[in-house]
């Protein structure tokens, strides 16, 4: 899961980055509001932790602009005071949840889990599609009919995670490259194809009826029994 952290207090940012990495989030941290806004607009993150008071652009502006651009990434806003206006403001600007500083890390992690669950609309720690279950904790892919399971590599897991999270939509290889590797280039486009082959092999190994369909000239889409 790729997480964007925008926080200008160095000690806080460092501590959060460390904590989140321990929790297996892939973290990009920015201290400047404008840099954070640009990163969020790239639409490559699964979740955002956004401080309110930031240099050059505040959290409210960043959230509002992102939503205007159609970015749907869940936003957890960090408000400095338990000021009701701040909370209301944040939610009005398109944040999904807020946490008042100082907070306990347990609560932060719980809020992040809740937000990612909301995004994927699944049980905790599991992504479901067709006859398969993708377990976020163990990185196992399981056939829920037969119980057969196989361990995925980091990038294979990410590939499946993105395809399931975007079920019903065709994902272009450009979008996949950006979400998996964080940037686009010919090399990453080829990587996308390679990883599709890996993941398909694992689906086949599980004798799953879930397929990754290539839509010629467009991208990839998850299908189950051709539905
Ligand atoms: Ca701040």
Q: Confirm whether pTM is higher than 0.95.
A: no
Give the C-alpha separation, 25 to 113, whole Å. 11
Domains annotated on the chain, with CATH: 2-120 (3.40.50.2300), 126-224 (1.10.10.10)
- Mean pLDDT across 15-24: 93
DSSP-derived letter for residue 168 is T
Whether residue 63 is predicted with pLDDT greater than 90 in this model: the reply is: yes
In this prediction, residues 102-120 reach a mean pLDDT of 83
Each residue's pLDDT tens digit, 149-196: 999 998 999 999 999 888 878 899 888 988 888 777 777 888 899 999
Scanning 77-227, the segments in alpha helix (DSSP H) are: 84-92, 105-120, 154-165, 173-181, 186-205
Centroid of ligand 1 to alpha carbon of 171 (angstroms)? 35
Mean pLDDT throughout 4-26?
Answer: 94
Q: How far is the CA of 63 from the centre of ligand 1 (A)?
A: 15
Q: How far does the centroid of ligand 1 lie from the alpha carbon of residue 78, in Å?
A: 9
The values of phi and psi at residue 23, to 5°, are -90, 15
Distance CA 78, CA 33 (A): 13
Q: Which residues surround ligand 1, an ion (CB under 5 A)?
A: 8, 51, 53
Summary mean pLDDT of the chain: 88
Rounded to whole angstroms, the Cα distance separating 222 from 227 reads 10
């Amino acid at each position: 899961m790729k997480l964007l952290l925008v926080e200008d207090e160095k000690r806080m940012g460092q501590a959060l980055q460390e904590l989140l990495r321990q929790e297996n989030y892939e973290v990009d941290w920015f201290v400047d509001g404008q840099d954070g806004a640009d990163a969020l607009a790239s639409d490559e993150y699964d979740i955002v932790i956004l401080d309110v008071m930031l240099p050059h652009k505040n959290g409210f502006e960043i959230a509002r602009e992102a939503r205007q651009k159609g970015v749907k990434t869940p936003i957890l806003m960090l408000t400095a005071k338990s000021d009701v206006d701040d909370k209301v403001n944040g939610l009005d600007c398109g944040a999904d949840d807020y946490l008042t500083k100082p907070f306990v890390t347990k609560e932060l992690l719980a809020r992040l889990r809740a937000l990612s669950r909301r995004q994927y609309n699944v049980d905790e720690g599991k992504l479901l599609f067709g006859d398969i279950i993708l377990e976020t904790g163990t990185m196992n892919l399981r056939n829920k009919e037969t119980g057969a399971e196989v361990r995925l590599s980091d990038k294979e897991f990410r590939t499946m995670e993105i395809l399931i999270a975007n079920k019903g939509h065709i994902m272009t290889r450009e979008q996949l490259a950006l979400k998996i590797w964080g940037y686009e280039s010919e090399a990453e486009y080829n990587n996308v194809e390679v990883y599709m082959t890996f993941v398909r092999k694992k689906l086949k190994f599980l004798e799953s009826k879930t397929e990754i369909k290539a839509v010629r000239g467009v991208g990839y889409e998850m299908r189950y029994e051709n539905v």
